[in-house]
């Protein structure tokens, strides 16, 4: 049984007399101990979706079940108890400015009437976990963005949650700090088996840490699966755009001499082989590199290239066949705006 089960979830809002459908019939399952990414462009509905997981937003239709329990059936008291097992961290940290670091981490424990001594001991343990034990007397205004997020993570872990929701938790951070926060989240997942759900618009975050991913586009779930599978062979336009950038949204090409484009994906073994050079030498045909990128997906080097091929149909077929024979994933693209 999945730890988080979302079934046929729809969320509508009334805005100035108009009905806005933020989520439309979304269904997905998240297994216990997984690091699951939910990704989409701004306004896609992903933040609304994550807020339904702990019922900060009640669905208009559909259900959210945590370990088999439908949150809609719970009394207010039981719902509060269920939420205590779901930690949450935010893009803007949401720290209490009038409290120091130790006080911020103690706060959720105080709400549960944990003794002051026990709360301080627990907070101290968590500050060691996030490597901020020397900052317990500092106030949020004295911390960097990365340090603030570490405090927020420690606070979210204070009540020993089984699930941790991260809503754009790295969007306000620079790349180096983002990498350190993602490494911390991965370490927490491995040490404690906490299920982590990451909401983001950054594919780099998903490829760095997530095992599975759901792609949301205009309130609809358009694709789900293992991160490496979707990176290798995206089925939806939204996935292609998130992986390769807006230019992959197919629009007529104007500045290239060919609109015969393919996308190839190469894995760790082929990433260091001169596949294109070999193809050009063997087949005697020109290949234009339009874009190239290599990423770390769950510790493995995986890359992509967008290639412009000759107009001659036979030459294109020979090139595609050769690339596939080398074990590369090849996707044909109709048009590309570079």
Supply the CATH number for residue 263's domain. 3.30.70.260
Q: 280 and 226 share a domain?
A: no
Same domain, 132 and 224: yes
Mean pLDDT, rounded, of the chain: 85
Q: Is residue 123 part of a domain?
A: yes
Q: At which of 210, 233, 256 does a domain end? A: 233
pLDDT at 1: 60
Q: Which neighbouring-strand residues pair with 150?
A: none
Residue 217 sits in the same domain as residue 266? no
Check pLDDT > 90 for residue 187: yes
Considering the domain architecture, whether residues 19 and 116 belong to the same structural domain is answered as yes
Q: Is residue 240 part of a domain?
A: no
Q: How many independent structural domains does the chain possess?
A: 2
Comparing 35-49, 86-100, 219-233, 318-332, the range with the smallest average pLDDT is 318-332
Q: In the listed set 233, 253, 269, which residue is the last one of a domain according to the structure?
A: 233
The CATH number of whichever domain residue 110 belongs to comes to 3.40.50.300
222 occurs within a structural domain: yes
b (16+ CB within 10 A) / e for 272-303: eeebbeebeeeeebebeebbeeebebeeeebb
The verdict on 129 and 173 lying in the same domain is: yes
**Within a domain: residue 122?**
yes
Q: Clarify whether residues 269 and 326 are in a common domain.
A: yes
Q: Is the residue at 124 inside a domain?
A: yes
Do 187 and 122 belong to one domain? yes
Using the Cα atoms of residue 254, residue 259, residue 265 and residue 269 in order, give the sign of their dihedral: negative
Residues 151/105, Cβ–Cβ less than 8 Å:
yes
The residue segments making up the domain with residue 51 are 4-233
195 and 315 in a single domain? The answer is no
End of a domain among 233, 258, 289? Answer: 233
Q: Is residue 68 part of a domain?
A: yes
User: pLDDT for 270-293, tens place per residue?
Assistant: 555 677 778 888 788 888 888 777
Q: Do 177 and 92 fall into the same domain? A: yes
What pLDDT band is residue 28 in, cutting at 50, 70 and 90?
very high
Give the span between the Cα atoms of 181 and 174, in whole angstroms: 11
Same structural domain for residues 194 and 222? yes
**Range name among 37-46, 121-130, 142-151, 180-189 with the lowest pLDDT average:** 37-46
Residue 84 shares a structural domain with residue 176: yes
Judge whether 239 lies within some domain: no
pLDDT-derived band at 128, boundaries 50, 70, 90 = very high
How far apart are the C-alpha atoms of 72 and 65, rounded to whole Å? 9
* Same domain, yes or no: 157 and 263: no
d(CA 44, CA 107): 33
- Grouping H, G, I as helix, E, B as strand and the rest as coil, residue 227 is helix
According to DSSP, the residues that pair with 264 across neighbouring strands are: 305, 330
Which residues have CB under 8 Å from 329's CB, separation 6+?
A: 232, 233, 264, 265
Residue 297 has pLDDT above 90, yes or no: no
Q: Note whether residue 172 is domain-resident.
A: yes
CA dihedral of 181, 187, 193, 195, whole degrees rounded to 10: 20
């Amino acid at each position: 049984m999945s730890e988080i089960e979302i079934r046929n979830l729809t969320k509508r809002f009334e805005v100035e007399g108009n009905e806005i459908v933020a989520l439309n019939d979304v269904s997905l399952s998240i297994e216990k101990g997984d690091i699951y990414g939910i990704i989409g462009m701004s306004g896609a509905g992903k933040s609304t979706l994550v807020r339904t997981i702990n019922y900060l937003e009640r669905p208009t239709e559909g259900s959210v079940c945590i370990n088999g329990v439908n949150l809609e059936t719970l009394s207010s008291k039981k719902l509060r108890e269920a939420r205590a097992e779901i930690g949450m961290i935010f893009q803007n940290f949401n720290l209490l400015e009038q409290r120091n670091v130790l006080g911020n981490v103690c706060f959720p424990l105080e709400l549960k009437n944990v003794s002051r001594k026990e709360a301080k001991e627990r907070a101290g343990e968590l500050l060691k976990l996030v490597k901020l034990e020397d900052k317990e007397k500092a106030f949020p205004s004295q911390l960097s963005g990365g340090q603030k997020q570490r405090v927020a993570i420690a606070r979210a872990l204070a009540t020993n949650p089984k699930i941790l929701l991260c809503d754009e938790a790295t969007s306000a951070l620079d790349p180096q700090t983002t990498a350190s926060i993602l490494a911390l989240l991965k370490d927490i997942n491995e040490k404690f088996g906490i299920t982590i759900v990451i909401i983001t618009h950054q594919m780099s975050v998903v490829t760095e840490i997530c095992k599975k991913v759901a792609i949301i586009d205009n309130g609809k779930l358009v694709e789900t699966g293992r991160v490496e599978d979707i990176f290798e062979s995206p089925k939806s336009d939204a996935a292609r755009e998130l992986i390769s950038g807006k230019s992959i949204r197919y629009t007529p090409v104007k500045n290239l001499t060919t609109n015969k484009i393919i996308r190839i994906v190469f894995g760790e073994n082929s990433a260091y082989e001169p596949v294109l050079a070999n193809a050009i030498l063997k087949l005697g045909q020109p290949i234009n590199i339009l874009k190239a990128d290599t990423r770390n997906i769950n510790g493995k080097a995986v890359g992509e290239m967008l290639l412009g091929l000759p107009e001659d149909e036979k030459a294109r077929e020979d090139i595609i066949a050769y690339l596939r024979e080398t074990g590369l994933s090849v996707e044909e693209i109709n048009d590309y705006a570079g």
